[in-house]
Structure 1
């Protein structure tokens, strides 16, 4: 039986990231593909989970059937009319097949020589290896990664400190952020940064005390001169 996931309303991209970040990090641990790249590709290829292939076939990466595919399939107009695409029982299978697709093909072998957090190198390399025909594909991936700070998930897997894109590109942004780890609570985080739980909830527009691993919390907002 095919399991389809109905996308949530609101910020489509942010919701997609929240829904699939754990899967992307798991795949990174197993197959050494940056979680940031996996998420950005999923967002772009699936239309944040709203595209026909993702909704009807759980295909989040636009992977076509090719000759070796023996599973279910769906037909969809792409470079040519009614091309054959793979159909999966759930999005998790699509994520796993994406990992296998990249690791089992020689044309992508050079990507695995890059640093595990080199998302720019991966974005450029995917295009050069023929994953996509769009000349702007690397820029689209990089833009998504930096806008939604997807590189933080690479850092979590690698155990590295996280710097936000705004902090690395401007000295006037004094925002401080905390990446939620296992065992973190709002009270503990607030105490660590010498703020109240109420302030922490206000900074992040939180309506509950529920946290998820990898969640980014603002613990000191941008200072403004009036």
Structure 2
């Protein structure tokens, strides 16, 4: 029987295109989004635009501004912290699971070590070149490798919405402030603990890495005088 292969839906393609422009700063906070103009620009009907806008609203990247349509929202620092708190737990669980598998299977350990080392080199090169998009992309690849290595296919899926939100925060900060090179040193340390089969240490290092990153991002964003992000007090 011939299998039907499908690519991303129009809605997903529009979502990805707009989200990437928000991540890259082409659509800064406050940018006005008019659905008719977007439909014409992307060469699609209004339906996938409306559906993509609904997804972007659900992810907190755009908000309605009355009859004027929608606009890109400023970053909410409290919400960013909440995303990081959840991601730290998921990432820690992934690191523990990956380390347990490496402890039990030398082939898995060798595979993760080899693939992880390549990502580390790419990330370090991106830092030296000041390539913001590549830094964020390779960071996601590293964490994706740990999710995969955990053997739990639900972890990557559970973490995905948090990554969507945090990718924007990471990109925004890297365009305006220099995060410490410590990030990639920590990645190397996490990879070493995982491939050495040390579950407790791998989990601890990963959770500390995520929470340290949250603190660094928040500090950098609060220091920016040109665009003060939101900080809502939640009940």
TM-score, normalised via structure 2 length: 0.21
TM-score, normalised via structure 1 length: 0.22
Larger relative contact order, structure 1 or 2 (CA cutoff 8 Å, min sep 6): 2
Q: Whose helix proportion is higher, 1 or 2?
A: 2
